[in-house]
Structure 1
Amino acid sequence: MAGYIDIVCNIFTPEAVTNGWTGLDDNFKAQVRMPPEMWDGLPIDDYLRKMDRAGIERSLLIAVRAGDLNVKHSWEIPYEAIAKICRAHPDRFSGLAGIDQTRGMQGLRDLTQAVEEYGFVGAHWYPHWFGSPPDCAQIYPYYAKCCELDIPIMMQVGQNLVYSKERRLPSVARPILLDQVAIDFPDLPIIGIHIGVPWTDEMIAMCWKHANIYTAGDAYAPKHWPKQFVRYADSYGSHKVLFGTDFPVIDPERAVAEVAELGLRPASHARMMRDNALAVFTKLPR
C-alpha cells in the first residue's frame, strides 16, 4: 500500500479517554463538533478502518507530554503505550516522542530511547503547555539532541484553544519565533503544525526564508484553510507543506476528501499527502 501519510495523529481510544491521555473536555469536543458517539473513544481497529477508507497508509502517533507534571492538570502518554500500538501495526503507525523540557537530562535520555529502542521517527513539542516560546533556552538542548538523532521536531505554532476549562493556556508560539531557532539549528527539520493560525502569513514567511522549516495542514478542516496557505501549498511552497489531521480534531476521511476538493495540481497533491513526509521523516519505512 502506497497511500497517504498523516503526520499529526493522537490516540483517542477508550483507554486513552479513561486514562486522561487526551487533554480534552466535553466543551472542546462539542466545540469541534465531535460526533457524540465518539466522545468515549474509538478503538484502534475502528480507526484503522477509517484510515483504510481515507486511503491513509500510515499515521504518526504522538506520545504527548503536555506540561510539567509538577503542575496541576499536566499529563502525558507513556512512550511505551505508543510503542505498543506501533509494534502491533508496524506497517500502519509510527511514533513521535513528546518532549517535556523541564525533565532536563532525563528527558534527553528518554528521547534517545524513544528513537533508538522504540523506533520513533520524530519529536513533538507543545510550547503552550509549558508557557515557553520556541526560542526559549530550556528547549535548545532538545533541538541539539534531535540533530544528533537525525530526526525532525514538530511543534504547535499559532493560537491554541481552550482544550479544557481546568487549564487555560497562553498562545506563546507565533511562527516568527522559529526564525532564530532555524538560524541556530540549520540542519534541524522544524515543522510548524496547525498552519500557524491566525498568523498563517508568518508561517509561510518562515518556510520561505528557511530551507529547514516546514508546515502542516492539520487541526483545521481543509475547506476552511486560509486561501494563502492553499496557494502556497500549490505553488512555490509545494515542497514545504505536509498533511495531518490532528485526529480526533479532524476526521481523516473528511480531511482527505476536502483536500481533494481544493483543486491542487497533481504534483502538489502528491507532495503534500505523502512525498514531503518521506523527505522530512527520513526514518520512516520507505
Structure 2
Amino acid sequence: MKNYDIQAIDAVVNLWTPEMLAIRPNRDAFYGGKMKVTTQDLKGVSHEEMLRRMDAAGIERSFLIAAKVGPIMHKASYHTPYAMVAEAVNRYPDRFSGLAGLDATEGMDGVRQLEKAVKDYGFIGAHFYPHWFELAPDHAKWYPFYAKCVELNVPVQLQVGQSMLYDPQHRLRSVGRPIALDAVACDFPELKIIGIHVGIPWTDEMIAMAWKHPNVFIGTDAHSPKYWPESFVKYINSYGQDKVIFGTDFPVLEFQRTRDEIDNLNLRQEPKRKLLRDNVLRIYGLNPEA
C-alpha cells in the first residue's frame, strides 16, 4: 500500500451502497457508460469497502451527499433519504460527514428539511445540482436555501459547468455558468459557496468568481486531475492556493487514482496540503484533531 504524506478529506462522495442504488434510476447507462464505473461497482459498494479504498488512498474523511437529483415527481429523478446518509455517519462518525441535498421545487418545506438535517442529523453543509431543475444558481427559488445556510452557518456546494446527458429522453440545459455565482455572492456575502466540478468548460470563469469573492471557492471533483486545464493547476499552485478543495465525486473518480494523479501534477507542498486538507477544514469549520 502506498504511503501518502498528506491525509486528504474528500468533500464530494456519493453514497453507493446496494440499498442506495435500488432507488437510483438509469445508473448503469450513465455511470457504467459515460463515467466508466466498473460492472462490479455498479452493484454497490458497502461502507466497509469504501473505507478500505479510502484508507488505501490516504483519505481520512469523506463528505457523503444526501443528493436530491431533480424534482421527485419526474421519472428520472431520485432523492437520497437524509436518514440513509445519517445512518452511515452515525456508524462511522470519524470517517463520514453528511451533506443535505436541496430541491428548489420543495420551497419552504425543503428549507425546513435542511434545518432538520443540520440540527438533528449533524450534517455540515448543503449540496445541489442546478441543472437537474433547470434553475440557475441565481434563481430566486434557491434564495431561501441560501438564507437558511447563512443562518445555520454551513457552506453550500453546487455544480457549476455544463450538465451531463444522463438520459437521451431527459436532456438538461447547462444553467450552471459560474458567472451566475456573482449575484449570489453579492447578495449573500456571509454564505460560503463552493462551485464543484471545476467549472468545466468555463473554468477560467470559475477562477474569476473565486478571485473576486472572498466567500466563493472551487471543488475539484468529477474531472480527472490529469485533464484539469493548465490555468486551473497554476491557480491551485499560486494565488488560488487558499480557494480550492479536493473531491472525487466517487464513484465517478476512484479515490486512489485521483490521489495519484494529483501527485503527478508536481504541486508545491504547501498548496498541495491546502488543496487536499487544510482549505476544507477551514471552510467547513472542522477541527483537524477531531
Note whether the superposition's TM-score is higher than 0.5.
Answer: yes
Question: 2 CA distance for matches of 1:25 and 1:165?
Answer: 14
Question: 2 CA distance for matches of 1:241 and 1:191?
Answer: 9
SS of 2:118's partner is helix
Question: 1 CA distance for matches of 2:208 and 2:257?
Answer: 28
Q: Alignment partner for residue 66 of structure 2, among 58, 63, 66? A: 63
- Counterpart of 1:119 in structure 2 is 122
Distance change >3 Å, CA 53–CA 100, structure 1 → 2: same
Mapping 1:100-179, distance limit 5 Å: 100-179=103-182
Mapping 1:1-286, distance limit 5 Å: 3-20=7-24, 24-283=27-286, 286=290
Question: 1 CA distance for matches of 2:69 and 2:286?
Answer: 25
Q: If the length of structure 1 is used for normalisation, what is the TM-score?
A: 0.96
> Which runs of 4 or more aligned residues in structure 1 lie more than 3 Å from their structure 2 counterparts after TM superposition?
283-286
- Tell me how far 1:160 sits from its aligned partner: 1.6
SS of 1:25's partner is helix
Aligned residues: percent identity? Answer: 49
Q: Which amino acid aligns with 1:91?
A: D
- Tell me how far 1:32 sits from its aligned partner: 1.9
Which has the higher mean CA deviation after the structures are superposed, 62-71 or 230-239?
A: 62-71
Q: Is the 8 A contact 2:108 2:144 kept in 1?
A: no
- Tell me how far 1:16 sits from its aligned partner: 1.6
User: 1:124-164 CA distances to partner (integer Å, 9 max, x unpaired)?
Assistant: 01101111000001110110000000000000000121123
Q: Which amino acid aligns with 1:141?
A: P
Q: Which amino acid aligns with 2:12?
A: V
Question: 2 CA distance for matches of 1:220 and 1:164?
Answer: 20
SS of 2:111's partner is helix
- Counterpart of 2:3 in structure 1 is none
Q: Is the 8 A contact 1:9 1:61 kept in 2?
A: yes
Q: Is the 8 A contact 2:31 2:252 kept in 1?
A: no
Q: Which amino acid aligns with 1:61?
A: L
- Tell me how far 1:179 sits from its aligned partner: 0.4
Q: Is the 8 A contact 2:18 2:45 kept in 1?
A: yes
Q: Which amino acid aligns with 2:90?
A: R
SS of 2:250's partner is coil
Question: 1 CA distance for matches of 2:42 and 2:211?
Answer: 39
Aligned length: 285
Q: Is the 8 A contact 1:73 1:166 kept in 2?
A: no
Question: 1 CA distance for matches of 2:150 and 2:30?
Answer: 39
SS of 2:65's partner is strand
Question: 2 CA distance for matches of 1:127 and 1:76?
Answer: 15
Distance change >3 Å, CA 257–CA 238, structure 1 → 2: same
Q: Is the 8 A contact 1:58 1:94 kept in 2?
A: yes
Question: 1 CA distance for matches of 2:163 and 2:21?
Answer: 21
Q: Is the 8 A contact 2:23 2:78 kept in 1?
A: no
Question: 1 CA distance for matches of 2:131 and 2:150?
Answer: 23
- Tell me how far 1:221 sits from its aligned partner: 0.8
- Tell me how far 1:71 sits from its aligned partner: 2.6
- Tell me how far 1:66 sits from its aligned partner: 1.1
